[in-house]
Structure 1
Amino acid sequence: MEWRAFVQRYFDAVHQSILDGQHQRLLPFYLEQKPLLQQEWERIHRAHRQMRKRGAALRGVSGQVKPVCWLETDAAMDITVVWTGKSRYLLKNKTYEEASRRMLQLRLDKAAGQWGIVGTREQRGDQKSEGIEEQELRGTASVTAVEEAVSQPLLVVHGAGGYRADKAVAYAERYWNTTNPAYPRFNDDCTNFISQCLYAGGIPMLMSKERGKGWWIRTGKSADWSYSWTVAHSLYLLLKSGGPPMRAVAKKSAAELVPGDIICYDFNGDGRFQHNTIVVTMDANMMPLVNAHTTDSSMRYWAYEDSTAYTPSIRYAFFHIRGV
Structure 2
Amino acid sequence: MEKQVVQQIHARAQMFMKAWMYGDERMLIGKEERLIPTEKEVLSRRQASVVHAKVSGEITSVCTYEACVQVDYVLLLERFIIQQKGNYIEERLCQRRALFVDGEWQSDDLMNVERTSKYCQAEKTPQIVIDAFKTVDKSYDRREAVRYAERWWQGDTSSSCAHFVSQCLYAGGAPMTDTTERHGWWSTGVSYGETWSNPHLLRWYLSGATKGLCGEMRTQAKDLLPGDVICYDFNGDGVWDHVALVVAKDVYGEPLVNAHHMNSRMRYWTYEDAAVYTNDTKYVFFHIVVN
**TM-score bracket for this pair, using the shorter chain length:** 0.7 to 0.9
- Which residue is equivalent to 1:195? 166
Contact 1:100 1:296 in 2 (8 A): yes
* 1:58-94 deviation line (CA, Å, top 9, x unaligned): 1122111210111123332111101111011110122
- Per the normalisation by structure 2, the TM-score is 0.87
After TM superposition, give the deviation of residue 227 of structure 1 in Å.
1.1
1:9-158, aligned counterparts within 5 Å? 9-26=11-28, 37-110=29-102, 115-124=104-113
- Which residue is equivalent to 1:210? 181
After TM superposition, give the deviation of residue 17 of structure 1 in Å.
1.3
Contact 1:64 1:85 in 2 (8 A): yes
Contact 1:289 1:299 in 2 (8 A): yes
* 1:246-285 deviation line (CA, Å, top 9, x unaligned): 2211001101101110000001011110111010111111
Bigger mean CA offset, 171-180 vs 265-274: 171-180
- Provide the rounded CA distance (Å) in 1 between the counterparts of 2:207 and 2:109: 36
Amino acid in structure 2 at the alignment position of 1:8: H
Amino acid in structure 2 at the alignment position of 1:280: V
- Provide the rounded CA distance (Å) in 2 between the counterparts of 1:5 and 1:276: 36
Q: Helix, strand or coil: the match of 2:238? A: coil
- Per the normalisation by structure 1, the TM-score is 0.78
Q: Helix, strand or coil: the match of 2:177? A: strand
RMSD: 1.7
**TM-aligned CA distance change 1:206 to 1:10, over 3 Å:** same
- Provide the rounded CA distance (Å) in 1 between the counterparts of 2:198 and 2:254: 26
- Which residue is equivalent to 1:164? 141
Equivalent position to 1:241, from 205, 208, 214: 208
Contact 2:93 2:154 in 1 (8 A): yes
Contact 2:70 2:99 in 1 (8 A): yes
**TM-aligned CA distance change 1:287 to 1:121, over 3 Å:** closer
What stretches of structure 2 of length at least 5 have no aligned partner? 115-137
Contact 1:106 1:121 in 2 (8 A): no
Q: Helix, strand or coil: the match of 1:321? A: strand
Amino acid in structure 2 at the alignment position of 1:215: W
After TM superposition, give the deviation of residue 172 of structure 1 in Å.
0.7
- Which residue is equivalent to 1:260? 227
After TM superposition, give the deviation of residue 122 of structure 1 in Å.
0.4
Q: Helix, strand or coil: the match of 1:225? A: coil
Contact 1:108 1:119 in 2 (8 A): no
- Provide the rounded CA distance (Å) in 2 between the counterparts of 1:293 and 1:210: 25
Amino acid in structure 2 at the alignment position of 1:3: V
- Provide the rounded CA distance (Å) in 2 between the counterparts of 1:121 and 1:41: 12
Tell which structure's C-alpha radius of gyration is larger. 1
Contact 1:70 1:78 in 2 (8 A): yes
Amino acid in structure 2 at the alignment position of 1:71: C
- Provide the rounded CA distance (Å) in 2 between the counterparts of 1:167 and 1:237: 24
- Provide the rounded CA distance (Å) in 2 between the counterparts of 1:179 and 1:124: 10
Contact 2:96 2:108 in 1 (8 A): no
After TM superposition, give the deviation of residue 190 of structure 1 in Å.
0.5
Consecutive aligned runs of 4 or more in structure 1 exceeding 4 Å deviation: none
Contact 1:109 1:118 in 2 (8 A): no
- For these two proteins, the number of residue pairs brought into alignment is 266
- Provide the rounded CA distance (Å) in 2 between the counterparts of 1:168 and 1:234: 20
Equivalent position to 1:286, from 241, 253, 263: 253
**TM-aligned CA distance change 1:15 to 1:119, over 3 Å:** closer
- Which residue is equivalent to 1:310? 277
After TM superposition, give the deviation of residue 119 of structure 1 in Å.
4.7
- Provide the rounded CA distance (Å) in 2 between the counterparts of 1:284 and 1:67: 37
Amino acid in structure 1 at the alignment position of 2:286: F
- Provide the rounded CA distance (Å) in 2 between the counterparts of 1:218 and 1:25: 46
- Which residue is equivalent to 2:135? none
2:197 matches 1:230: yes
**TM-aligned CA distance change 1:117 to 1:87, over 3 Å:** farther
Amino acid in structure 2 at the alignment position of 1:83: L
